[in-house]
Structure 1
Amino acid sequence: MNTRKCHVRAMSMLLGGALLALTPGGPAQAASPAQTWERAVLPAGDGWASAEGSTTGGSAAAPEHVYTVTNRAELLAAFKEAGDAPKIVRVAGTVHGNADAQGRPLSCEDYHTDGYTLEKYLAAYDPDTWGREDPSGPMEDARVASAAKQKAAVNVAVPSNTTIVGVGKDATIIGASLQVRGVSNVIIRNLNFEDTYDCFPQWDPTDGANGAWNSEYDNLVVYGSRHVWVDRNTFSDGDRLDADQPRYFGELFQQHDGLFDIVRGADLVTVSWNVFKDHDKTMLIGNSDGAGATDRGKLRVTLHHNVFKDLNERAPRVRFGQVDSYNNHFVATAGSVYGYTYGIGFESRLVAEHNAFTLAREFDPARILKKWSEAPLTARNNLVNGRTTDLIAVHNAGVPEEQLTEGAGWKPVLRTRVDNPRAVPALVKRHAGAGRLPGC
């Protein structure tokens, strides 16, 4: 079904149900708005977001709180007008995060202030003349001020009781960071998230042996929030691939941070049927070993039926959380950059079962797991290139200095379906990602 037909079908169901309800003597059974995919709720038992209550987003939205937005200003206005009331925000076409009030895209130069330019910044903090100290002084101050202007445009706060859903197959958010921060009951579906880039990475000469460029912004952040369902979206760097970016001071000018992070006491999150591709640092679940006061006992996340393709690392990297990762397909093609898939971090309790890995011959399956801290995990019935593989045993044999321990200490029960891992690659290829909502 094409985009227009999908849009018309959803609207006709929504409006048709409302009209029949208002017509005296109309049929007793009418097409209810609650039956449309825009008003879908998380099915019972579908991952951690179905625990301790339900995740319904804006499914109960009144007609006046159903919005169709085509640019950043309209998106912000919808959130502001509805507040925490149930709301459905329908994204049609392409919404640019780096945009002015009229929706016109902004360039990095449009954020420059106080005399900042990249050329001046590079000249000021060249290690050959500046040395290995942190940047300071007028040009660093100008970078910070310019970055603050971009941050005000890029970060978009999502309120509680919200469903954000793309219209049709091509709804896209470019260069914006959706911030699900300190709220609850949010559903995000059927969107292409692309290229949330930082115009003003900071040079840190003390990061690693040679220094590094560090950037801000993730496409999506769940921060201190509960009951969040992220379903059938596609996350990528779009046309701004890291491999195509220049190097300054000998290091990659890194303009991307993560694709999707779940941090700072976030809890009860289900991530299903998404595509994550062509990125470096993909997903953090827990962002600091020192965050036990906020994270311990939280960060309960389910990842199922997702595609993780050509990613360097963090798919995900886990601290503290009880994370259930099953029926996902992890792909590393020849020539891509591949560091590891699962990062085993501080006090994490990862269960990785019934997943499929398709790795080019140049990549060692021992690298699927990466030990950052001592933490046990469960890894069972996973296939690597079609063969059942004990990921822990393969890792411990191939990386003897990083021995991992079997047994996460808990057993997931919130799974509505578990597919044979041999079927997973074809299944998620057909159904995962934006534009794949059932009936649309």
Structure 2
Amino acid sequence: MRNRKCHASVMAVSLAGCTALVLSLTAPAVAAESGGGRDLARQTLAAGDGWASADGGTTGGAAADAEHVHTVRTWSEFRSALAAGGDAPKIIRVVGTLNATEGGCESFEAPGYDFDQYLADYDPAVWGYENKVSGPQEDLRAASAKNQGKGIKAFVPSNTTIVGVGRNAGITGASLQIKGVDNVIVRNLTIESPLDCFPQWDPTDGATGAWNSEYDAMVVYGSTHVWVDHNTFTDGRYPDSSLPRYYGEIYQQHDGELDIVRGADLVTASWNVFADHDKTLMIGNSDSAGATDRGKLRVTLHHNLFKDIVERAPRVRFGKVDTYNNHYVVPENGYVYSWGIGFESRLVAEKNSFALPAGVNAGLILKKWKDAPVTVADNYVNGRAVDVLAVHNAEVPGEVLQPDAGWTPTLRLRVDDPRALPGLLTHRAGAGRVR
């Protein structure tokens, strides 16, 4: 039996290709990025800093006593620290890189699972494209996937701060689950996207079938008051270009980097790097989730660097989402869109900056999934002011979008001139760069 390995070539994430501009800021910084003193673990989200500062604000585990301050160096220690003390305020300091899959994919395999046999059983030449896969090997794949889910998911309780120590702290192979809780802070971590060891083949997905994977790097599910700050989200050693193909389709082992779904609300994501990924940041995961999502999914995205992201930066359903002062370095190949306008979304996208390569038109920045209004203003493309909505409507006449999301963001603490963003975020966004 040949066990499936996690094939990859090491890829260093470099931001050196981002063009730097040194400019005077026409909109000055009006406050510090965070409150609570110089100890990162005790810092809280400053008043007025995005949606997570509303309705009482976000303090995480800043009030933790000595008994509830943990320093962890392994994945096992990390999960134990999360479980200790219930919802009492806690601080978890991460030292080094925690590896949730150090035993390899084989450690999750159900007895009898054989990937070579899986490929033989569901080869389209044998199985066809009309029916979803079923049978012994699919059952064993599902059992293996369940084992992996138990091993790599970490559930974050309320009133928790997770913070990396120094410049080289991170987590790899894991899925952080911020589910059904309140008041969480995650800062200063390099988070390498988990690899799904057991993607499912779906012959009915499109004309030629597709491999579908699980496990987002971070999921905010039904939770409130969440601050995600100064982290680096990346495919790291395992870019999609390193993944093999079976049945002519990419063996997709990645899902999202950050998903905010199922009634989640009051979230601020600031000063992060999202790099080298396909489906990156989804806000609202279903058009049919109105009962839980309508009136929720209020999210602020500011001062984030999106580098070589294919799509979903973000894709929005339902929520009032404020996307300002982000910089987008668009890949030369494979780019689909950045801002996805979905069912009942109310996206405001202002004062952002884009670096588009030759051959990629500004009309692709927006993508219409459903008819919903959007506010787009004061954005720059390759150093020039561009009315992105007007360009989109002219270049993509079959996907005309209407202006005016119908609300005006007020929770903005610092607003920079968009022309300064390439240099500012290249040097200050991401893990290891908290000031």
TM-score relative to the length of structure 1: 0.90
Q: Does 2:328 correspond to 1:340?
A: no
Asked if the contact 1:34/1:59 (under 8 Å) is kept, the reply is no
Asked if the contact 2:43/2:62 (under 8 Å) is kept, the reply is yes
Tell me how far apart the structure 1 counterparts of residues 83 and 188 of structure 2 sit (CA, whole Å): 22
State the match for 2:52 in structure 1.
49
Which of 403, 419, 422 is matched with 1:422 structurally?
A: 419
Shift in Å, 1:34: 5.5
* Two-structure CA RMSD over aligned residues (Å): 0.9
State the match for 2:8 in structure 1.
none
Which of 120, 125, 132 is matched with 1:123 structurally?
A: 120
Shift in Å, 1:35: 4.5
Asked if the contact 2:40/2:163 (under 8 Å) is kept, the reply is no
Range 281-290 or range 78-87, more displaced: 78-87
Shift in Å, 1:424: 1.1
Q: Does 2:393 correspond to 1:435?
A: no
Tell me how far apart the structure 1 counterparts of residues 109 and 65 of structure 2 sit (CA, whole Å): 42
Which of 364, 375, 383 is matched with 1:367 structurally?
A: 364
State the match for 2:40 in structure 1.
37
State the match for 2:384 in structure 1.
387
State the match for 1:72 in structure 2.
75
SS in structure 1 at match of 2:402: coil
State the match for 1:326 in structure 2.
324
Tell me how far apart the structure 2 counterparts of residues 117 and 351 of structure 1 sit (CA, whole Å): 48
Tell me how far apart the structure 2 counterparts of residues 136 and 317 of structure 1 sit (CA, whole Å): 32
State the match for 1:12 in structure 2.
none
Cα shift readout 1:365-403 (whole Å, capped 9, x = no counterpart): 110000000000000000011111111100001000000
How many residues are aligned here? 399
Q: Does 2:413 correspond to 1:413?
A: no
Which of 110, 132, 135 is matched with 1:137 structurally?
A: 135
Q: Describe the shift of the 1:35–1:433 C-alpha distance in structure 2 as closer, same or farther (beyond 3 A).
A: closer
Cα shift readout 1:169-211 (whole Å, capped 9, x = no counterpart): 0001000000000000000000000031100000111111111
Return the letter of the residue paired with 2:358: R
Tell me how far apart the structure 1 counterparts of residues 194 and 109 of structure 2 sit (CA, whole Å): 18
TM-score relative to the length of structure 2: 0.91
5+ residue gaps, structure 2, are 1-35
Tell me how far apart the structure 2 counterparts of residues 38 and 107 of structure 1 sit (CA, whole Å): 32
Q: Does 2:264 correspond to 1:266?
A: yes
Asked if the contact 1:114/1:145 (under 8 Å) is kept, the reply is no
Asked if the contact 1:223/1:265 (under 8 Å) is kept, the reply is yes
Cα shift readout 1:217-268 (whole Å, capped 9, x = no counterpart): 0110000000000000000011111111111111100000000000000000
SS in structure 2 at match of 1:330: strand
Asked if the contact 2:309/2:331 (under 8 Å) is kept, the reply is no
Q: How does 1:35-184 map to 2 (within 5 A)?
A: 35-98=38-101, 105-132=102-129, 133-184=131-182
SS in structure 1 at match of 2:399: coil
Asked if the contact 2:90/2:161 (under 8 Å) is kept, the reply is yes
Q: Greater helix share, 1 or 2?
A: 1
Tell me how far apart the structure 1 counterparts of residues 114 and 145 of structure 2 sit (CA, whole Å): 12
5+ residue gaps, structure 1, are 1-32, 99-104
Overall identity of the aligned pairs, in %: 62
Asked if the contact 2:283/2:317 (under 8 Å) is kept, the reply is yes
In the TM superposition, structure 1's runs of 4+ consecutive aligned residues that sit over 6 Å from their partners are none
Tell me how far apart the structure 1 counterparts of residues 355 and 85 of structure 2 sit (CA, whole Å): 44
